[in-house]
Chain A
Amino acid sequence: MTQPAASAQSAAGQVLAAFEELPRLAVADLDLVRRGRFLTCDFEIGVGSTPLAVAIAAGRVASVTRGPFLLKPLAFSVRAEPDVWQRFLEPMPAPGFYDLLGMSKVGRARIEGNLVPLMGNLQYIKDLIALPRTLDRSKAHS
């Protein structure tokens, strides 16, 4: 295996592990849960070729499940390459990597599917996927 491929695999693994912390991180943020209390839906965070199904139940993250999936009804998806997510999840992201919509504008991220639950809860979703920024950096984004 070449060095860049190994590095990419490592980035994907770290990002997937960081997003898999969302149930624990979200339940510790009472204000976030309050703001998301009207949202119950399943959506996808895509990390390169690996989808994560994030199940939201009244603002809490009930589960994060690693794919692949077959015909799983996910309302919408937010996808980016592992190295992009890695930069997005840095505690103080650089310009161009701070905001999901900013990353979408320049093609670094893709937002697809039924966007009504996303746009109706946009700040909640943006804050939710940014929660791993608070993780210990040596574990999540080294």
Chain B
Amino acid sequence: MTPRFEPIIGRYLHLELSGRPQRLYVEEAGQGIPLVCLHTAGADARQFRHLLNDEAITQHYRVIAFDMPWHGKSLPPEGFEREEYRLTTAAYTGMVIDLCEAMALEKPVVMGCSIGGRVVLNLAAEHGPRFRALIGLESADYQQPWYDTEWLHRPDVHGGEVCAALVSGMMAPQSPAASRHETLWMYKSAGPGVFKGDLYFYRVDGDLRDVVAKIDTSKCPLYLLTGEYDFSCTPEDTLRTASRISGAEVTIMKQLGHFPMSENPAQFRRYIIPVLERIRSRG
């Protein structure tokens, strides 16, 4: 095997989020329209490594993926040891806005998956005109809970193992084993209680059923793509959400689940590249 570097550049961005200094790990590759990628709950930006390495995308897009505070190579804020981490709608929405401003991104596209797909809906409702387009992967305004999140962080059950085992069946059986297990590795290696803290936004604070009707897709196009094997955010959840948003475009993706960009990158690019082409051609 010939040694090689990928074109991805990783840097640390210091900025204030919700009044607290943070050090965020940010990766990027490519030039053109900024495309900010938001990872799923309890994971990190490694989920987007295939997009960051896809020349068909990076020749037109500056792809940016960052680890949220507490995730991946971004540290928790000072004093974290005395608090329970809980992501809120306001903090998450503000984080994306503040990051885009800190990086001076002009009319970026934001694409988020799962919790990232949920916050994209709030960005569309509250800040639509700031964005060139918004893309929600595995995105819905609300989803029926399917387990007690107390299992995610307790001393008698290994947190990393149980987080990974809970989400493992949300990927399509057709997805390559290596990609599925790479996706699960991020869950196995996340900090204690982080997945649970992210799900506070997903389960408790981020019910957007009364918010999505405010979305104006004439000011910011909205694309929603959901995998047929996702039983957490089901195709029905996404279709129901889209039915309340005039102009939202939905794609149900075959042979994909809750982690399309990392569980089966080859299958996902068949769906996402046409969407990115459409966004680019709209000007």
Contact = CB atoms under 8 A, between A and B. Distances in A.
Given A119-B151, A120-B156, A123-B161, A100 B228 contact: no
Given A92-B174, A116-B156, A98 B162 contact: no
Contacts of A116: 156-157
B162 A119 contact: yes
Interface string B199-239: 00000000000000000000000000000110100000000
Contacts of B144: 105
A113 interface: no
Interface residues of B, number: 21
B147 A101 contact: yes
A122 interface: yes
B170 interface: yes
> Which secondary structure characterizes the binding site on chain A?
helix
Contacts of B229: 95, 98
A120 B159 CA distance: 9
B173 A122 contact: no
A99 B157 contact: no
> Which secondary structure characterizes the binding site on chain B?
loop
Contacts of A105: 144, 146, 231
B280 interface: no
Given A95-B228, A102-B231, A122 B169 contact: no
A92 B169 contact: no
A92 B162 contact: no
Contacts of B170: 99, 102
A50 interface: no
B68 interface: no
B164 interface: yes
B168 interface: yes
Interface of A: 92-93, 95-96, 98-102, 104-106, 115-116, 119-120, 122-123, 126
